[in-house]
Amino acid sequence: MLEYDFTFDPSKCEECGGKCCTGESGYVFVTPYDIEEISKFLNMDFNEFSVKFVRKVGYKYSLTEKIQKDGKGHACVFFDEETRKCQIYSRRPKQCVSFPFWECYKDDFEPLLKECIGVCKK
């Protein structure tokens, strides 16, 4: 189990409005298990869901993204721009569930302090 030098308060997400789901173009990687779970949640067939919402990135798969209506860059395809919330929150991919406790932030979490208001130095 990795130990981190920061804590995270998820109650800040409400106030933040989804900074980690928006902005620069990026990847929200999904496993076949994620695809299965999200498609079931949306009452969609696995293949139908994959064609509509998944793109191949090298040997991995990512959710697709959209351009935000307010012109502030990209957003994950499941980010609701009106409510500023995730539309699949209870079935969001592991990458989203584990944020901000990613291995890449284990040794250097300074960039996170600027990006995520829920992160606090211990």
The residue ranges that bind ligand SF4 (CB under 6 A) are 12-13, 16, 18-21, 28, 76, 78-79, 86, 88, 92-93, 96, 99, 115-118
The residue (of 18 and 54) whose beta carbon lies closer to ligand SF4 is 18
Q: CB of residue 42 vs ligand SF4: minimum separation in angstroms? A: 12
Cα 112 to chain centroid distance, Å, stands at: 14
Kindly write down the DSSP assignment for every residue of 35-89, as one continuous string. HHHHHHHTT--HHHHHHHHEEEETTEEEE-EEE-TTSS-EEETTEETTTTEETTG
Structure tokens at 110: 């300074």
At closest approach, how far in Å is the CB of 85 from ligand SF4? 8
Toward ligand SF4, which CB reaches closer, 47 or 64?
Answer: 64
Cβ closest to ligand SF4, residue 8 vs residue 46: 8
